Amino acid sequence: MKKLIASFAVVPALSAGVAHAQSSVTLYGVIDTALVYANNSGGKSLYEMNSSNVLGNRWGLRGSEDLGSGLKAVFLLENGFASNTGRFQQGGDEFGRQAYVGLSSDRAGTVTLGRQYDAVVDYVLPYIAGAQWATYLGGHPGDLDNTNNDYRSNNSIKYTSPNYSGFRFGGLYSFGGVAGQFSENQIWSLGAGYVRGPLSLGAAYVNIKNPNFSYFGNNSTSSSTGNNMTGSLVYSGYASAGSEQIFSAGGNYTLGAATVGLVYSNTQFRQLGADASLNPEGYSGSEKFHNAEVNFKYQLNPFVLLGASYDYTKGYGVNSVTYQQGDLGATYILSKRTQLYVVEIYQRASGTDSSGKAAVANINGLSASSTPNQLATLVGITHRF
């Protein structure tokens, strides 16, 4: 950190040559759309067009300005949109995916301010099947551990280290912004990653105060008083939690054309009943979730990627629930920018979910099934620009 401060301190002393320093701005984006079939969505078969599957739809502006002495000013603005309707995603926010500005030093790392990803996204997300080939629907149930990047941190300051021979680390703090209560609605996270040869590892921890408002409800259309956690029956009944914490770790090992990955997370909704108005079931104590995933992918040839994964989720505490999910997929690479994909997802639920009722299957991104089982098939295309 001393090195970082020293690097930033050189800015006022830079010579007049800075006025001619190099700068760049890049426009980029992703468009991903699929046809989806679900055998049971609210009790009926569903045929629909869906977007943001393998990759979240986005367009963005990324820029940097060379300030000299290894120091740069950096910024990123990234909008999320639905390609099937043209609407904004992330609750209608114009730059709901990311929006930040900061300074980056070759020697000391990068500090940025704005709406940003937490450590789970930075260090563990790359290892889940849903972020590689299994699509958003192939993520963990309800994306309860944020390994599929559903949730961002507003009003955050973030540090990312340089790469030290394959090792890097970082941390984030999100200000709650509540007058007189510094820790209210705050979020903080820490993470680290290591890559050496065929081995890649990552781990992260996130601590969240009042998650219904600070984490799940930080978009422009979010409610300031109601339940913002209605997206999945996996956790919708736990909006009264006073805090949430996530620990996750993952890694993969590549041997030739094959890659095997493992991911584990533990998510805890604590102090249930802290907000009595959001606690119709009268819960108290905590609900915790173990999640374990094993995945495999094989590059059959330069054009075809095959994948398979199994995910096990166990909820325990005020309720006991189990979700088991299997994913199969194939990707055909047309070019560096365009690919076709087909993915099959099956989920089975048992026990009692967050509503206090018999658990039903609820594949991430779909309406819940009316039975313990749910099957979904996607056929789609992804294009990067």
Q: Is the pLDDT of residue 75 over 60?
A: yes
Residue 14 pLDDT: 40
Nearest to 97 by CA among 88, 108, 105: 88
For 166, half-sphere exposure in the C-beta direction (CA atoms, 13 angstrom radius) is 9
270 vs 209: CA distance, rounded Å: 10
Q: DSSP label at 256?
A: T
Residue 63's φ and ψ, nearest 5 degrees, are -145, 160
Angle at 264 between CA 259 and CA 268, to 5 degrees: 155
143 vs 235: CA distance, rounded Å: 10
Nearest to 377 by CA among 47, 43, 132: 47
Q: What is the pLDDT of residues 333-356, one digit of tens each?
A: 999 999 999 999 999 999 999 999
Q: How far apart are the first and last CA of the chain?
A: 36
R_g over Cα of the chain: 21
pLDDT band at 21 (very low <50, low <70, confident <90, very high): low
From residue 221, alpha-carbon distances to 96, 151, 242, 365, 377 in Å are: 11, 14, 22, 19, 30
Which range, 7-21, 175-189, 220-234, has the best average confidence (pLDDT)? 220-234
Angle at 145 between CA 329 and CA 355, to 5 degrees: 100
Range of the domain at 94: 2-384
Q: Give the bridge partners for 135, in sequence order.
A: none
Q: Is the pLDDT of residue 134 over 80?
A: yes
State the average pLDDT over residues 160-184. Answer: 92
Q: Is the pLDDT of residue 282 over 90?
A: yes
Residue 285 pLDDT: 98
Q: What is the mean pLDDT of the chain?
A: 94
* Pairing relationship of beta strands 23-41 and 373-384 according to DSSP bridges: antiparallel
Token readout for 280 is 């119709």
290 vs 278: CA distance, rounded Å: 24
Q: Give the bridge partners for 172, in sequence order.
A: 158, 189
State the average pLDDT over residues 11-29. Answer: 66
pLDDT band at 7 (very low <50, low <70, confident <90, very high): very low
DSSP track, 274-334: SSGGG-TT---EEEEEEEEEEEEEEEEETTEEEEEEEEEEEEEESS-EEEEEEEEEEEEE-
Q: DSSP label at 90?
A: G
The CATH number that applies at residue 180 is 2.40.160.10
| Number of domains into which the chain is organized | 1
pLDDT top residue among 21 and 257: 257
Angle at 270 between CA 354 and CA 212, to 5 degrees: 70
